[in-house]
Protein backbone atom coordinates (compact mmCIF):
# COMPACT_ATOMS: atom_id res chain seq x y z
CA UNK A 1 0.00 0.00 0.00
CA UNK A 2 1.30 3.42 -0.98
CA UNK A 3 1.59 6.22 1.59
CA UNK A 4 0.44 9.78 0.84
CA UNK A 5 3.98 11.22 0.90
CA UNK A 6 5.25 8.49 -1.45
CA UNK A 7 2.30 9.12 -3.78
CA UNK A 8 2.93 12.88 -3.85
CA UNK A 9 6.61 12.49 -4.77
CA UNK A 10 5.97 9.71 -7.28
CA UNK A 11 3.31 11.86 -8.96
CA UNK A 12 5.90 14.64 -9.22
CA UNK A 13 8.37 12.22 -10.82
CA UNK A 14 5.69 11.33 -13.38
CA UNK A 15 5.11 15.05 -14.09
CA UNK A 16 8.87 15.54 -14.53
CA UNK A 17 8.85 12.66 -17.03
CA UNK A 18 6.18 14.52 -19.02
CA UNK A 19 8.36 17.65 -18.91
CA UNK A 20 11.32 15.61 -20.18
CA UNK A 21 9.27 14.50 -23.19
CA UNK A 22 8.22 18.10 -23.90
CA UNK A 23 11.94 18.96 -23.91
CA UNK A 24 12.69 16.23 -26.48
CA UNK A 25 13.82 13.50 -24.09
CA UNK A 26 12.58 10.13 -22.81
CA UNK A 27 9.74 9.95 -20.23
CA UNK A 28 11.65 9.64 -16.96
CA UNK A 29 11.82 11.92 -13.93
CA UNK A 30 13.13 11.69 -10.39
CA UNK A 31 12.85 13.60 -7.11
CA UNK A 32 15.24 13.58 -4.14
CA UNK A 33 13.61 14.14 -0.75
CA UNK A 34 15.42 14.73 2.56
CA UNK A 35 14.62 12.82 5.73
CA UNK A 36 12.59 15.84 6.94
CA UNK A 37 10.43 15.78 3.78
CA UNK A 38 12.09 18.73 2.03
CA UNK A 39 12.52 18.33 -1.71
CA UNK A 40 16.26 18.67 -2.27
CA UNK A 41 16.48 18.30 -6.05
CA UNK A 42 14.76 17.04 -9.17
CA UNK A 43 16.08 15.32 -12.28
CA UNK A 44 14.89 14.53 -15.77
CA UNK A 45 16.04 12.36 -18.61
CA UNK A 46 18.54 14.09 -20.91
CA UNK A 47 18.64 11.71 -23.90
CA UNK A 48 18.80 14.56 -26.43
CA UNK A 49 22.13 15.70 -24.94
CA UNK A 50 23.62 12.62 -23.26
CA UNK A 51 22.08 9.79 -25.33
CA UNK A 52 21.83 6.46 -23.48
CA UNK A 53 23.49 7.47 -20.18
CA UNK A 54 21.22 10.50 -19.73
CA UNK A 55 18.87 8.81 -17.26
CA UNK A 56 16.93 10.96 -14.78
CA UNK A 57 18.02 8.99 -11.72
CA UNK A 58 21.72 9.01 -12.60
CA UNK A 59 21.57 12.71 -13.48
CA UNK A 60 19.91 13.45 -10.14
CA UNK A 61 22.26 11.22 -8.11
CA UNK A 62 25.38 12.82 -9.63
CA UNK A 63 24.00 16.30 -8.98
CA UNK A 64 23.09 15.38 -5.39
CA UNK A 65 26.54 13.89 -4.70
CA UNK A 66 28.10 17.22 -5.69
CA UNK A 67 25.71 19.35 -3.63
CA UNK A 68 24.93 17.53 -0.38
CA UNK A 69 26.89 15.98 2.48
CA UNK A 70 26.91 12.22 3.13
CA UNK A 71 24.60 12.45 6.16
CA UNK A 72 21.95 14.28 4.11
CA UNK A 73 22.28 11.81 1.23
CA UNK A 74 22.08 8.73 3.44
CA UNK A 75 18.88 10.09 4.96
CA UNK A 76 17.39 10.97 1.57
CA UNK A 77 14.97 9.09 -0.66
CA UNK A 78 15.04 9.13 -4.46
CA UNK A 79 11.58 8.84 -6.01
CA UNK A 80 11.23 7.76 -9.62
CA UNK A 81 8.35 6.68 -11.83
CA UNK A 82 10.16 3.57 -13.11
CA UNK A 83 12.53 1.27 -11.22
CA UNK A 84 16.14 2.40 -11.60
CA UNK A 85 18.16 0.44 -14.16
CA UNK A 86 21.51 -1.13 -13.31
CA UNK A 87 23.44 2.04 -14.24
CA UNK A 88 21.17 4.27 -12.17
CA UNK A 89 21.15 1.86 -9.24
CA UNK A 90 24.93 1.87 -9.22
CA UNK A 91 25.02 5.66 -9.37
CA UNK A 92 22.46 5.94 -6.56
CA UNK A 93 24.53 3.53 -4.48
CA UNK A 94 27.81 5.39 -5.06
CA UNK A 95 26.11 8.76 -4.40
CA UNK A 96 25.21 7.29 -0.98
CA UNK A 97 21.47 7.93 -1.29
CA UNK A 98 19.68 5.95 1.43
CA UNK A 99 16.43 4.86 -0.17
CA UNK A 100 14.62 4.45 -3.48
CA UNK A 101 10.88 4.46 -4.15
CA UNK A 102 9.59 3.60 -7.63
CA UNK A 103 6.21 3.28 -9.29
CA UNK A 104 6.60 0.67 -12.07
CA UNK A 105 9.11 -2.16 -12.45
CA UNK A 106 11.97 -2.24 -14.93
CA UNK A 107 10.63 -5.56 -16.20
CA UNK A 108 7.28 -3.93 -17.07
CA UNK A 109 9.12 -1.11 -18.84
CA UNK A 110 10.98 -3.70 -20.92
CA UNK A 111 7.67 -5.22 -21.97
CA UNK A 112 6.52 -1.78 -23.15
CA UNK A 113 9.68 -0.68 -24.97
CA UNK A 114 10.56 -4.05 -26.48
CA UNK A 115 13.56 -3.83 -28.80
CA UNK A 116 13.57 -0.05 -29.14
CA UNK A 117 17.22 0.86 -29.79
CA UNK A 118 16.76 3.90 -27.57
CA UNK A 119 15.81 1.81 -24.51
CA UNK A 120 17.31 -1.67 -24.54
CA UNK A 121 16.47 -2.06 -20.86
CA UNK A 122 18.03 -4.80 -18.77
CA UNK A 123 15.85 -7.21 -16.81
CA UNK A 124 17.68 -6.72 -13.52
CA UNK A 125 15.92 -5.61 -10.35
CA UNK A 126 17.48 -2.72 -8.47
CA UNK A 127 17.13 -4.68 -5.22
CA UNK A 128 19.65 -7.23 -6.54
CA UNK A 129 22.16 -4.50 -7.36
CA UNK A 130 21.74 -2.80 -3.99
CA UNK A 131 21.95 -6.16 -2.16
CA UNK A 132 25.38 -6.73 -3.72
CA UNK A 133 26.71 -3.62 -1.98
CA UNK A 134 28.10 -3.15 1.48
CA UNK A 135 25.68 -0.40 2.40
CA UNK A 136 21.93 -0.76 2.80
CA UNK A 137 19.70 1.02 0.30
CA UNK A 138 16.04 0.65 1.27
CA UNK A 139 13.65 0.05 -1.65
CA UNK A 140 9.87 0.41 -1.90
CA UNK A 141 7.94 -0.38 -5.06
CA UNK A 142 6.46 -1.13 -7.46
CA UNK A 143 3.02 0.29 -6.69
CA UNK A 144 0.20 -1.21 -8.78
CA UNK A 145 -1.92 1.86 -7.95
CA UNK A 146 0.28 3.92 -10.29
CA UNK A 147 1.03 1.40 -13.02
CA UNK A 148 -1.84 2.34 -15.36
CA UNK A 149 -0.82 6.01 -15.32
CA UNK A 150 2.86 5.21 -15.94
CA UNK A 151 2.04 2.64 -18.63
CA UNK A 152 -0.08 5.20 -20.52
CA UNK A 153 2.83 7.64 -20.43
CA UNK A 154 5.24 5.09 -21.89
CA UNK A 155 2.85 3.63 -24.45
CA UNK A 156 2.25 7.15 -25.76
CA UNK A 157 5.98 7.77 -26.05
CA UNK A 158 7.41 4.45 -27.31
CA UNK A 159 4.66 3.59 -29.82
Catalytic annotation on 145?
A: no
Of 5, 19, 42, 57, the catalytic one is 57
Three-class DSSP category at 97: coil
CA distance 14 to 102: 10
> Are the beta carbons of 126 and 83 closer than 8 angstroms?
yes
The DSSP code for 1 is -
> Are the beta carbons of 137 and 100 closer than 8 angstroms?
yes
CA distance 5 to 94: 25
- Choose among 42, 38, 54: nearest CA to 13: 42
CA distance 59 to 132: 22
**Active-site residue set:** 57
Amino acid sequence: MIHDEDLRHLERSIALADEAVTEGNHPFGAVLVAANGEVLAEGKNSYSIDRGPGHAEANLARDAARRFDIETLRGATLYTSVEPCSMCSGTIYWAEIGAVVFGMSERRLGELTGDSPENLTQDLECRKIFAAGRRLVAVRGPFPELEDEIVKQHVAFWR
